[in-house]
Amino acid sequence: METIIRFEEYTKILKKTEILKDISLEMKSGKLYKLKGTNGSGKTMLLRAIAGLIYPTTGAIYVNDVEIKKNCTYPASLGVLIENPSFWREYTGLEVLRYLASIKNNITDEDIKASMEKMGLSPDDKRKIGKYSLGMKQKLGIIQAIMEKPDILLLDEPLNALDSETIRLFQKVITEERERGAVVVIALHNDGEFEMDYDEVIKIENGKVVEHEK
């Protein structure tokens, strides 16, 4: 398995606070990683660091051997669900996904619809996002992350507002993504009904990796 993500003594200081401290990690293709920790422990920041949304104060991060730093490009193949994305309220789910897909323009309408169906959201639903429930918005967030079949999948608290049936669908999706060869990183503070066989579990406290089970 190929190393896709590599942290080297990564430290991030924001407003004089160390939000990530001396992180050294490797993440490989086809593996499922769980980030666990309490609220505010630094899980989301670690995901943001991989996504290139923040840069290191000291140390480095490499994605596919390319260093993520100021003014660099974002990792080329990335699916991201960080916190609760606010989609455009006036569009239907399919319209939002089409719009997002048009930026990279590497998937077809059929791919989008197939991804929607995987997560139990109907492509024919004419309701606007403004009328969506919290759970439906969360499904849409997951769909937009997986639909382009990215090499790296970063999911921050993906279970928020999902019902039992959708959690089962989500488990199936994650299994498929791992088998496809993607690096899947899921940040969770509570597993609930989500039962997965993780390859590695990383516990973060106060921005520091305190446990790393392999």
Partner 1 sequence: MRLIEARKLIPAYFLIVLFIAKRLHFMQFNVYEMKDLIYLCFLYTGIADMGFNLIHVTDFFLYQCILIVFLGGFYRDDILSNQELLFTRAKKRKGLFQKGTIKLVLNTSILYVLLYGTSAMVLCYKNKTKTFDVMYFLYAMLFLVTYILLINVMTMLVDVKLFLVILLTVEVFIDNFIGIALGDKFFGVFQYLKNGMASNLPYALAPIVVAFILLNMIGIKIMKTREVV
| Nearest distance, CB of residue 108 and partner 1, angstroms | 16
Q: Which stretch binds partner 1 (CB under 8 A): 27-35, 76-84, 178-186, 193-201?
A: 76-84
Q: Which stretch binds partner 1 (CB under 8 A): 32-40, 81-89, 167-175, 206-214?
A: 81-89
The pairing of beta strand 3-14 with beta strand 17-28: antiparallel
Q: Please identify which residue in 15, 16, 165, 197 interacts with partner 1, judged by CB under 8 A.
A: 15
DSSP 122-188: -TT---BGGG--HHHHHHHHHHHHHTT--SEEEEESTTTT--HHHHHHHHHHHHHHHHHT-EEEEEE
CA distance 25 to 5: 8
CA-to-CA separations, 136 to 69, 82, 111, 125, 145, in angstroms, rounded: 34, 16, 19, 11, 14
Q: How distant is the alpha carbon of residue 181 from its chain centre? A: 15
Q: Please identify which residue in 86, 164, 190, 197 interacts with partner 1, judged by CB under 8 A.
A: 86
| Nearest distance, CB of residue 15 and partner 1, angstroms | 7
| Nearest distance, CB of residue 126 and partner 1, angstroms | 16
73 binds partner 1 (CB under 8 A): yes
Burial zone of 50 (CB within 10 Å; 0-12 exposed, 13-18 middle, 19+ buried): buried
- Residues 149-178 touching partner 1, rule: CB under 8 A, are none
| Nearest distance, CB of residue 1 and partner 1, angstroms | 23
Q: Which stretch binds partner 1 (CB under 8 A): 84-92, 112-120, 160-168, 170-178?
A: 84-92
Helix (H, G, I), strand (E, B) or coil at 69: coil
The site for partner 1 (CB under 8 A) is made up of 14-15, 44-45, 48, 51-55, 71-75, 78, 80, 82-83, 85-88, 90, 99-100, 102-104, 144
